[in-house]
Amino acid sequence: MNDVIICRCEGVRLSEIEQAIREGASAVPGVKKRTRAGMGPCQGRVCQRVVLQLLQQPPSEAGESPDALQRSRSPVRPTLLGDL
């Protein structure tokens, strides 16, 4: 079951995300840095919910709320360079 692909864009598996959490990732940016989950063309629109659920399973040591675990970064949607 740990071979399930969570981030289709980057090919990140459940076992890799669980390993990142064991190594100290306590929020989405930490998981992204360690695994690249959420850094593909969809920018996390497909996998981010699952990553948040995995982060919430064990109690957060810092006592952060689930909303504090996610910090959106712009651009939220892909933007063409010509539009800028």
Domain ranges of the chain: 1-61
Predicted TM-score (pTM) above 0.75: no
Closest of 46, 48, 52, 42 to residue 75, by C-alpha: 42
Please tell me the distance from the alpha carbon of residue 61 to that of residue 65, in angstroms, as a whole number: 11
Task: Please write the tens of the pLDDT for every residue from 5-61.
Answer: 999 999 999 999 999 998 988 899 999 999 999 998 988 888 999 999 999 885 544
Q: Looking at the domain 1-61, which fold is it?
A: Arc Repressor Mutant, subunit A (1.10.10)
Report helix angle 14-22 to 28-35, nearest 10. 120
